């Protein structure tokens, strides 16, 4: 399977996972080929809005360019969304990391690794459930 086909399949997988959890989600047309910033997925349940850049990889680490991350932040800030990275490792599943938490690497690149995501990343249920927990906590305060 080509890298592009693998990426699209992963996007579609996450698209359906998000819908199942009550997030209205769109896959962006021409992501990577338009002159405007464009996240792979845009999802909201009416309270949280996520702009998500997806990657599906077989290795244990993934570089992001400064430009790719800047485009994601520009989009998210303008739209009023949170910027997240969703990385799917072969045979290990999805991990989620807030885009601002990705560490700098050499030059202008950023690097996210499986070992970092095991510590700081969220799995899908945590990614979704975390905000349910936050909402419960807010209710308590009232």
Provide φ and ψ at 115, rounded to 5°.
Answer: -65, -40
DSSP 122: B
User: Considering beta carbons, is residue 46 or 107 the nearer one to a copy of itself?
Assistant: 46
Q: What is the smallest separation between the CB atom of 120 and a copy of itself, expressed in angstroms?
A: 27
Residue entry with tokens 């996007």: 11
Cβ atoms < 10 Å from Cβ of 31: 18
For residue 13, give the DSSP letter: H
Q: What is the DSSP string of 122-135?
A: B-HHHHHHHHHHHH
Residues involved in catalysis: 31
Nearest-approach distance from CB 117 to a copy of itself, in angstroms: 26
Least Å from the CB of residue 64 to a copy of itself: 20
C-alpha torsion sign, points 96, 101, 106, 109: positive
- Nearest to a copy of itself of 38, 55 (CB atom): 38
Q: What is the token pair recorded at 42?
A: 């845009």
- Binding residues for a copy of itself, per CB under 8 A? 15-16, 19, 22-31, 34, 36-39, 42, 44-47, 49, 74-81
- Closer residue to a copy of itself in complex, CB, 79/114: 79
């Amino acid at each position: 399977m080509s890298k592009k086909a693998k990426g699209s399949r992963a996007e579609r997988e996450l698209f359906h996972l998000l819908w199942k959890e009550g997030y209205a989600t769109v896959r962006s047309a021409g992501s990577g080929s338009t002159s405007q910033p464009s996240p792979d997925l845009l999802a909201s349940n009416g309270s949280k809005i996520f702009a998500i850049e997806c990657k599906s990889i077989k290795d244990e680490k993934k570089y992001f360019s400064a430009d790719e991350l800047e485009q994601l932040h520009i989009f998210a800030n303008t739209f009023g969304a949170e910027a997240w990275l969703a990385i799917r490792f072969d045979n290990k599943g999805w991990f989620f990391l807030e885009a601002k938490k990705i560490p700098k690497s050499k030059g202008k690149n950023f690097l996210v690794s499986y070992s970092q995501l095991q510590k700081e990343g969220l799995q899908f249920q945590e990614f979704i459930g975390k905000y349910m927990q936050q909402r419960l906590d807010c209710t308590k305060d009232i």
